[in-house]
Amino acid sequence: MTAATARLGPGRRMAAYAALARVQARTQRVYRTDFLFGMVGLLLQIYLLRLVWTAVYPGSGSAGAGPGREITLATQIAYVSLASVQAWLANSDARTLATIQLRIREGAVALDLARPVRFTAQMVAARAGGTLAMLPFAGCALVFSVLAGGAQAPASVPALLAYAASLVPAYASALLLGVTVSMISFWTLELDGFYSVYLMAAHFFSGALVPLWFMPEWLADVTRLLPFQTMVYVPTALYLGQLSGARAVLEALAVQCGWAVALWLLLRLVWSRALRRVVVQGG
C-alpha cells in the first residue's frame, strides 16, 4: 500500500473503486452495438451446442459419465446453456483488458500510478464495472435459453444456495486471472496473440464447451489441476446437482476459494515485478 493509499480510509477507497467501476460500465455501454453482436454470437453458440449434443446423444436420452453415472440430454443441454453464459460473462470484457494494454503502451499508466489507490485495484474495479455493463445482455441470453428449452430448474434448494455461493469465488478467480494476464503488457506491448491463446484455454478448460464428466479421465485430471474449471464447471455442476452431498459441495467451494486466494497472491507477485519495469521520464 502506498502512502497516498494509506491516507484514504476504507470508506473512501471503496467509494473510489465504485466510481471507477461506474465509469467503466458507462464506457462499455457506449459500445452497445459491439455488445449486441457479442450476445448474438453467444446465442448462436448456445443454439449450435444444443443441436450438436442432441445429434450425438444416444437415442435413450441419457449417456454414461463414469461408473454408475448417467447424464440426461436435458441436463447436458441445461449445462452448456448456463455454462456458455457464465463463460461469456467471465471472459468477454476484452475491451477492459485492451484498455490496460493501451495505457501501458502510451505511458498513461504513470497517471494511474499517481492516483491514491493501487493500480491493480483500479484495474480490478474497472473490469468489475465492465462485467456489470454486460449483465443485462446475459439476462437476455438466459431468457433465450428458457425459450429454446435449454433451461432447467436447480436440482434442489441446497443446490441453488451452493451455486449462488460458488459464483463469488468463481468470478473473483476469473477477474484476478484476467488482470494478471493483462500485466504481461509490461513485458510485451502486443498482447493480442497471447490473449487469444488464453481465451481459448480458458474456454475449453473451464468446461464451457465439454463438461469434465465427458472428458477422458486423464484430461479431466489435468483440468482439475487448473483454475479454469472453478470458474464455470464447478458452479454449473453444483446448480444441476452433479456435485452433491455436504462433503463434495464443501470441498468444491474450498477449492474455489483456494484458487481465488492463490490468484490474488499471483497478481500481487506479478505486479511487484511489473512495477520495476516502469520508468517515468520528465521534468
Cell readout for 129 is 464495472
Query: Does any domain span residue 281?
Result: no
Q: Residue 153: exposed, middle, or buried by beta-carbon count in 10 A (0-12, 13-18, 19+)? A: exposed
CB 278 within 8 A of CB 183: no
Q: Which three cell numbers, joined as nine digits, stand for 245?
A: 452431498
Mean pLDDT within 253-267: 95
Q: Is residue 90 part of a domain?
A: yes
For 206, which DSSP code? Answer: T
Q: How far apart are CA 123 and CA 140, in angstroms?
A: 27
Q: What is the rounded CA–CA span in Å between residue 254 and residue 233?
A: 15
Mean pLDDT along residues 140-168: 83
Residue 283 lies in a domain: no
| Residue 72 main-chain phi, psi, to 5 deg | -75, 160
Residue 30 counted as domain residue: yes
Rounded Cα distance between 51 and 67, Å, is 27
Percentage of residues in the chain having pLDDT higher than 90: 27
Write out the three cell numbers for 131.
462485467
pLDDT tens figures, 87-101: 888 776 555 666 677
CA distance 110 to 92: 27
The model scores a pTM over 0.75: yes
pLDDT band at residue 8 using 50, 70 and 90 as cut-offs: low
Position 13 in a domain: yes
Structural domain including 271 reads 7-275
HEC assignment per residue over 68-89: CCEEEHHHHHHHHHHHHHHHHH
- pLDDT tier at 218 (50, 70, 90 boundaries)? very high
Confidence of residue 3 (pLDDT cuts 50, 70, 90): very low
Neighbours of 38 (CB within 10 A): 18
pLDDT at residue 280 greater than cutoff 70: no
Cell 456435485 maps to which residue?
A: 243
Residue 58 has pLDDT above 80, yes or no: yes
Band the pLDDT of 152: cuts 50, 70, 90. Answer: confident
What pLDDT, in 10s, does the model give residues 91-132? 765 556 666 777 777 766 777 777 777 777 777 877 777 777
How many domains is the chain partitioned into structurally?
Answer: 1
pLDDT mean over 18-35: 71
What Å distances lie between residue 273 and 100, 176, 260, CA to CA? 17, 16, 20
Is residue 176 pLDDT above 80, yes or no? yes
> Which whole number is the average pLDDT over 172-197?
82
